[in-house]
Chains A and B, each alone.
Chain A
Amino acid sequence: MPTSNLLPKFTFLKDIPSPMNDYTVTHLQHLESEAIYVLRETAAQFENPTLLFSGGKDSIVMTHLAVKAFWPAKIPFPLVHIDTGHNFPETIAFRDDLVKKIGARLVVGSVQEHIDQGKIRDESGAKATRNGLQIPVLLDTIEENQYDAALGGARRDEEKARAKERFFSARTEFGEWDPKNQRPELWNIFNGRKHHGEHFRIFPLSNWTEMDIWQYIRLENIDLPNLYFSHQREVFLRDGMLLAKTEFINLLPEEKLETRTVRFRTIGDATCTGAVESTAASLEDIIAEVAAARVGERGGRADDKRSETAMEDRKKQGYF
């Protein structure tokens, strides 16, 4: 298990002999510098930005980079968590711990509260998920707090529809993404100008792959929730995915609980994030596993399977 270390000792290049002495940089240095540049550009170009913290590894890496970008000052914007109420308890504990350590302000947009207030309705049926409900709650949270930019940890390699996503992604007043109306991005010049009411989604990790993320986590010794590492858990099979037993899911008659050795490759809503059988207990093991993987990490998520262009449809509605 990695040790906690938020303001990291930068081990690479010092401890590892590098053949690069002619002012070339490693790809991870390149990605790190690019992400820090984008984070600073966000702070500079917007009045009221925020960082969307999902609790997953990508948003943890993004937060880590944000700490670096503004150090020794604190991150000059709050973290927003859209809480479906269907979280693994580890996710919330980790979130609260992290926020305290870095001295950031946390704003929680609660799906449960929205349901209680009658603004949205829970899906019904055994396979109900609250993933779709995150969209209106996110948009409300953005509107209530008048955020003009929301940083997200999405990567272009995750899914086909994301391959064309910009670093600075313009959204309409309705929070919608119009694939035909995206601004070209050249060099490292970003155009964050907008009309009143419009806002931007900003993706500093656009050019990172899943492998880059894991290598960077290892390099920087970034703390992660235990869910990412192999452990014993009660799970059951649904639609080809191993779902964890939680208080939020009711088993169908034909579904059977069994204890397996698993870990999670992404962390989202507990009702639709699949576990994978794995004995990878360390970052080194995970890296080896990712290198050999045959299924993309989103392959474990029920929400993408609903249709081939599922992601694109959800983006248009304002999904992160």
Chain B
Amino acid sequence: MSKEIGYLDMDLLRFTTAGSVDDGKSTLIGRLLYDSKSVFEDQMEAVERSSRNAGDENVNLALLTDGLRAEREQGITIDVAYRYFATPRRKFIIADTPGHIQYTRNMVTGASTANLAIILVDARNGVVEQTCRHSFIANLLRIQHIVVCVNKMDLVGYSEEAFDKICDHFKKFSSRMGNIVDVSFIPISALHGDNVVEKSKSMDWYQGPPLLYHLETVYIGPDADHVHARFPVQWVIRPHSDKWHDFRGYAGRVAGGVFKPGDEVMVQPSGFKSRIKEIYGANLEPIKEAFAPLSCTITLEDNIDISRGDMISKPNNPPTSSQDVCAMVCWFSPESKLQVRGKYTIRHTTREARAIVQQVDYKVDINTLHKIEDDLDLGLNEIGRIRLRTSAPLFHDPYNTNRNTGSFILVDEMTNQTVAAGMII
């Protein structure tokens, strides 16, 4: 059964989609799901029924991705929704984030777990302010692969010139974005399916692959950090059974680097050193090595006191341990603004502490990418650089080195809401 073996070799690509309202994002996702045969007949019937009720002449593929009732009524997407499809090569998870101007926070949320971002541009409008904003967020969240889909090519006569102009414009302003490793440009028509799954017959001048082929083959490789060994302890396993009487295992998910039995390790905050005795993988048998993003359980040679929130790393290369962090944050709360001197709960890896905001260095105007230094009030959907003092040390790396040990959230202590996402500098 070669097809199934193929299935077991499939890897995972997570991507986000961003575009302004009406650029055709929902149509594009609907098209990807439909053409990759990920839509069931009963779902399709429901969409056909809705389209008829709304008086649309074509089946509106955008309805396939239209979720909650509130947004059906308002006609806009108001939150991040996740979609799934697979081809024989890959499984895909789409974080479908809305294009509406005020929803930066949703885009940040969707981007936080993505390896790739599709940025939609309407061929008639070209690169607009929002394109700039989407690219900035992709770069800030360290998405290394960007695909610029120039959509509605049918409305500009499938013109190569129009396409080239948009590519040039995008290249010019994205050259400032250091985290983006590769950018691809694809001219498409989501409505008619040109260059989405099938190569377009109307754009002979385009030599590249259609979008789906690109998504299937783009080399994501080890986007994760496999250099700096990081293992935040999530849970301590003590069976208290006769058979496993002395067993003490540290359970967690590798956040970076590679761990092997015999490796010398160091534990923070205690600073104790030991060696890895065994690593149990998800198969419940000892494995030879563990790396991100695998969950495993580690046992050590020595009996030392370790609890949730501790960090296991290598003595020659531990993460920074400090109570002062400088970070870019995106503010999420519609109810409150970031308070200087305000206290929040900070969650970082498996650790929780309290944090005081020491100062706001600047805000970023995400449309022009200029720094704003005269207005330091950080409100909903705004991004800025801040300094925090925490009640206990965080064991961290720069976000640009390691997404797991470089990211945190701030939680409002009154409402328990997640009010900010932070990326350590």
Interface of A toward B, CB cutoff 8 Å = 7-10, 12, 16, 18-20, 22-34, 36-37, 40-41, 43-44, 68-74, 156-157, 160-161, 163-164, 179-180, 182-189, 191, 193-195, 206-207, 209, 211-212, 215, 219, 284, 287, 293-296, 299, 308-309, 312
State A207–B237 Cα separation when bound (angstroms).
26
Find chain B residues with CB under 8 A from A73 CB. 237-241, 244
Closest 4 pairs (CB-CB, A-B): A10-B283, A296-B40, A299-B42, A27-B12
- Could you pull out 8 A-B pairs where Cβ atoms are within 8 angstroms? A25-B11, A27-B91, A29-B294, A40-B234, A184-B106, A186-B421, A193-B345, A295-B40
Q: Name which of B17-25, B195-203, B266-274, B410-418 contacts chain A.
A: B410-418
Q: Min CB distance, B15 to chain A, in Å?
A: 14
State A219–B9 Cα separation when bound (angstroms).
12
Q: Mark B273-310, 1 if CB is under 8 A from A, else 0.
A: 00000001111110000011111010000000000100
Find chain A residues with CB under 8 A from B66 CB. 160
For residue B407, CB closer than 8 A to chain A, the reply is yes
Known: A22-B221, A25-B293, A191-B411. A163 touches B83 (CB 8 A): yes
State A160–B40 Cα separation when bound (angstroms).
12
A191 touches B409 (CB 8 A): yes
B282 touches A7 (CB 8 A): no
Residue ID in chain B nearest A32 by CB atoms: B282
Residue of B1, B42, B220, B408 with highest tally of chain A CB at under 10 A: B42
State A57–B308 Cα separation when bound (angstroms).
32
A71 touches B408 (CB 8 A): no
State A160–B96 Cα separation when bound (angstroms).
13
- The interface size of chain B toward A, counting residues with CB under 8 Å, comes to 86
A32 touches B237 (CB 8 A): no
Q: Name which of B74-82, B206-214, B314-322, B359-367 contacts chain A.
A: B74-82
Task: Work out how many contacts link A and B, with CB atoms closer than 8 A.
Answer: 206
Residue ID in chain A nearest B409 by CB atoms: A189
Residue ID in chain A nearest B12 by CB atoms: A27
State A8–B12 Cα separation when bound (angstroms).
24
B11 touches A284 (CB 8 A): no
Residue ID in chain B nearest A183 by CB atoms: B418
For residue B332, CB closer than 8 A to chain A, the reply is yes
B293 touches A34 (CB 8 A): yes
Q: Min CB distance, A20 to chain B, in Å?
A: 7
Interface of B toward A, CB cutoff 8 Å = 1, 4-5, 7-12, 40-43, 46, 50, 65-70, 79-84, 86, 90-91, 93, 96, 105-106, 108-109, 112-113, 220-222, 224, 226, 234-235, 237-241, 243-244, 247, 249, 251-253, 258, 280-285, 291-295, 297, 308, 332, 345, 347-348, 350, 403-404, 407-409, 411, 416-418, 421
State A70–B237 Cα separation when bound (angstroms).
7
Q: Which residue of A41, A72, A191, A299 is within 8 Å of B40 (Cβ)?
A: A299
Find chain B residues with CB under 8 A from A185 CB. 109, 418
**Additional A-B contact list (15), CB under 8 Å, known A69-B251, A186-B421, A212-B91:** A16-B5, A24-B221, A26-B8, A31-B12, A40-B235, A72-B239, A73-B239, A73-B244, A157-B83, A180-B70, A183-B417, A187-B407, A188-B113, A299-B41, A299-B42
Known: A40-B235, A179-B68, A191-B411. A215 touches B222 (CB 8 A): no
A37 touches B239 (CB 8 A): no
State A41–B235 Cα separation when bound (angstroms).
8
B112 touches A26 (CB 8 A): no
State A25–B293 Cα separation when bound (angstroms).
8
State A296–B113 Cα separation when bound (angstroms).
27
A26 touches B239 (CB 8 A): no
Find chain B residues with CB under 8 A from A206 CB. 82
A23 touches B9 (CB 8 A): no
B234 touches A44 (CB 8 A): yes
